[in-house]
Amino acid sequence: MTTSLRLLGAVWAEQEAHVIPFLPDKRHQLLAYLAYCGDWVDRDHPTFLFWPDSPPQVAGGNFRQLLVRVRALTCAAGLEIERHRLRWPVQTDVAAFLEAVGTGRWAEALAGYGGPLMDRLEGDEPGEFAGWLGCERERLRGLWRTAVLRRAGELTEGGAHLEATELLGQLLEADEFDEAALQAQVGALLRAGGRERARQAYEAFVERLRAELGLEPTAELAQLGRTLSAPAALPEPGATPPRPGPSSGPLPRPTTSFVGRDLELAEIARLLAQPGCRLLTLTGPGGIGKTRLALEAARGLAPRFPDGVFFVPLAPLTSEAQLTARVAAGLGLTPQGQADPLDQLVRWLGDRQVLLVLDNFEHLLEAAGVPQALIRRCPNLRLLVTSRGRLGVEAEWLLPLAGLEYPESLGLGPTPNAYFDAVRLFLERARQVRPDFAPGEEEWPPLLGICQLVAGSPLGLELAAGWVRCLGLADIAREIGENLDFLSAAGSDAAGRHASLRAVFDHSWRLLTPAEGAALRALSVFQGGFRLEAARRVSGASLPVLAALVDKSLLRRSHSGRYDRHALLHQYAREKLAEQPGEQRAARERHGRYYLALLAERSGEIGGPQGQAALAALDEEFGNIRLAWHWGVEEARTGQVWREWRRAAVGGLPYFSLRARYQEGEALYGEAAAALEEAGPEHGAALGEVLIPQASFTMRLGRYEEARYLGERGLALVLPDSQEAITGLGVLGAVEERTGAFSQAERHFGEALVLAERHGRVPDQATLRYNLANVALGLGDYDRAERQVERSVALFAGIGQRLGLVFGLDLQGYVALGRGHLDDAGRVLTRGLALARELGLHQRVPDFLQNLAEVAYERGNLAEARRLAEEGLALAQAEGHQTMEISALALLGRVSAAAGDDRQARGHLRRSIRLAWVSGETPRLLVGLVYLAEWRLRRGEVREAVPLLLAAERHPAAEHRLRALARRLGQNLAGQLVPGELVEAPGDPAGLETLVTRALAGLDLALPTAPGMSQDGAAG
What pLDDT is attached to residue 484?
66
User: Is residue 617 over pLDDT 70?
Assistant: yes
pTM above 0.75, yes or no: no
What pLDDT is attached to residue 977?
53
Cβ neighbors of 128 (< 8 A, separation 6 or more) are: 48, 49, 50, 52
Average pLDDT score over residue span 719-737:
89
What pLDDT is attached to residue 864?
92
**What average pLDDT is seen over the chain?**
80
- Summarised one tens digit per residue, pLDDT across range 820-879 is 899 999 999 999 888 888 776 667 788 889 999 999 999 999 999 999 999 888 887 776
Q: Are 891 and 854 in contact (CB under 8 A)?
A: yes
User: Is residue 494 over pLDDT 70?
Assistant: no
Exposed e or buried b per residue across 213-249, where buried means at least 16 C-beta atoms within 10 angstroms of its C-beta: eeeebbbbbeebbeebeeeeeeeeeeeeeeeeebebe
Q: Are 874 and 845 in contact (CB under 8 A)?
A: no
What pLDDT is attached to residue 1005?
45
What pLDDT is attached to residue 1001?
81
Helix (H) or strand (E) holding 355: strand 354-359
- Summarised one tens digit per residue, pLDDT across range 958-990 is 777 888 888 888 876 655 654 444 444 444 444
Interhelix angle 341-349/323-330, rounded to 10 degrees, is 30
What pLDDT is attached to residue 342?
82
Average pLDDT score over residue span 415-430:
75
What is the pLDDT confidence band of residue 931, given thresholds at 50, 70 and 90? very high
> Of the candidates 114, 169, 103, which has an alpha carbon nearest to the alpha carbon of residue 141?
114
User: Is residue 110 over pLDDT 70?
Assistant: yes
What pLDDT is attached to residue 607?
67
User: Is residue 83 over pLDDT 80?
Assistant: no
| Share of residues in the chain with pLDDT > 90 (%) | 11
Bigger pLDDT: 248 or 115? Answer: 115
Helix ranges (H only) for 44-89 are 44-50, 56-71
Average pLDDT score over residue span 519-530:
86
> d(Cα 512, Cα 205) in Å, to the nearest integer?
49
User: Is residue 1010 over pLDDT 60?
Assistant: no
Helix ranges (H only) for 621-761 are 622-636, 642-651, 653-658, 662-679, 684-700, 704-717, 723-738, 742-759
What is the pLDDT confidence band of residue 410, given thresholds at 50, 70 and 90? low
What is the pLDDT confidence band of residue 43, given thresholds at 50, 70 and 90? confident
Which DSSP state fits 1013? B
Q: What is the CA radius of gyration of the chain?
A: 36
Which amino acid, one-letter code, is at 87? Answer: R
Helix (H) or strand (E) holding 557: strand 556-557
Please state which of the ranges 150-154, 322-326, 469-473, 971-975 shows the lowest mean pLDDT: 971-975
Q: Are 909 and 893 in contact (CB under 8 A)?
A: yes
Which amino acid, one-letter code, is at 813? Answer: G
Q: Is the dihedral of CA 621, 622, 625, 631 positive or negative?
A: negative
Q: Are 850 and 866 in contact (CB under 8 A)?
A: no
Bigger pLDDT: 848 or 652? Answer: 848
What pLDDT is attached to residue 929?
93
Q: Are 694 and 666 in contact (CB under 8 A)?
A: yes
Q: Would you say how long the chain is, in residues?
A: 1020
- Summarised one tens digit per residue, pLDDT across range 656-698 is 877 767 778 888 888 888 888 877 777 788 888 889 989 988 8
Q: Are 533 and 540 in contact (CB under 8 A)?
A: no
What pLDDT is attached to residue 409?
58
> d(Cα 397, Cα 382) in Å, to the nearest integer?
12
Average pLDDT score over residue span 365-373:
86
